[in-house]
Amino acid sequence: MIDLYSDTVTHPSAGMRQAMTQAVVGDEQRDEDPTTNALQVQVSALLGKEASIFLPSATMANAIACRLHTRPGEAIICDARCHILNSETGGLAVYSGIVPRIVNGHRGHFTPEQVEEQLTLSGHYRPLTTLLACEQTHNAGGGTIWSLEQLQAVCKVAHDNGLKTHLDGARLLNAAVAINIPASDYAAPFDTVTLCLSKGLGCPIGALLVGSAADIARARTFKQQFGGSMRQSGILAAAGLYALEHNVKLLAADHDNAHRLGEGLADLPGFDVEMPIETNMVFVNVKRTGMTAAEIASRLRQAGVGCSQSGPTRLRFVTHMDVNAEDVGRAVVSARTVMG
Ligand SMILES: *Cc1c(COP(=O)(O)O)cnc(C)c1O
pLDDT of residue 121: 80
Ligand 1 atom with the shortest distance to the CA of 57: 7
Residue type, 130: T
How far apart are alpha carbons 91 and 307 in whole angstroms?
26
Does 196 sit in the ligand 1 pocket, CB within 6 Å? yes
pLDDT of residue 41: 98
Ligand 1 atom with the shortest distance to the CA of 137: 13
CA dihedral 38, 41, 47, 52 (to 10 degrees): 100
Does 33 sit in the ligand 1 pocket, CB within 6 Å? no
User: Strand, helix or coil at 340?
Assistant: coil
Q: How far is the CA of 228 from the centre of ligand 1 (A)?
A: 16
Q: How far is the CA of 83 from the centre of ligand 1 (A)?
A: 7
Among candidate residues 270, 272, 262, the one with its CA nearest the CA of residue 332: 262
Among candidate residues 311, 306, 305, the one with its CA nearest the CA of residue 334: 305
Residue type, 274: E
How far apart are alpha carbons 55 and 52 in whole angstroms?
10
Digit-by-digit pLDDT tens for the chain (340 residues) are 999 999 999 999 999 999 999 999 999 999 999 999 999 999 999 999 999 999 999 999 999 999 999 999 999 999 999 999 999 999 999 999 999 999 999 999 999 999 999 999 878 899 999 999 999 999 999 999 999 999 999 999 999 999 999 999 999 999 999 999 999 999 999 999 999 999 999 999 999 999 999 999 999 999 999 999 999 999 999 999 999 999 999 999 999 999 999 999 999 999 999 999 999 999 999 999 999 999 999 999 999 999 999 999 999 999 999 999 999 999 999 999 998 7
pLDDT of residue 124: 87
Q: Assign 3-class secondary structure to 221-288.
A: HHHHHCCCCCCCCHHHHHHHHHHHHHCHHHHHHHHHHHHHHHHHHHCCCCCEECCCCCCCEEEEECHH
Does 168 sit in the ligand 1 pocket, CB within 6 Å? yes
Does 198 sit in the ligand 1 pocket, CB within 6 Å? yes
Does 274 sit in the ligand 1 pocket, CB within 6 Å? no
pLDDT of residue 44: 98
Among candidate residues 271, 260, 316, the one with its CA nearest the CA of residue 5: 316
How far apart are alpha carbons 121 and 126 in whole angstroms?
7
How far apart are alpha carbons 12 and 21 in whole angstroms?
12
Ligand 1 atom with the shortest distance to the CA of 198: 7
Return the best residue to mutate from 136, 144, 196 for the ligand 1 pocket (most ligand atoms within 8 A of CB): 196
- Residue 152, exposed/middle/buried by CB under 10 A (0-12, 13-18, 19+)? middle
Element (H, E) at 75: strand 75-79
Does 129 sit in the ligand 1 pocket, CB within 6 Å? no
Verdict on whether the full-model pTM lies above 0.85: yes
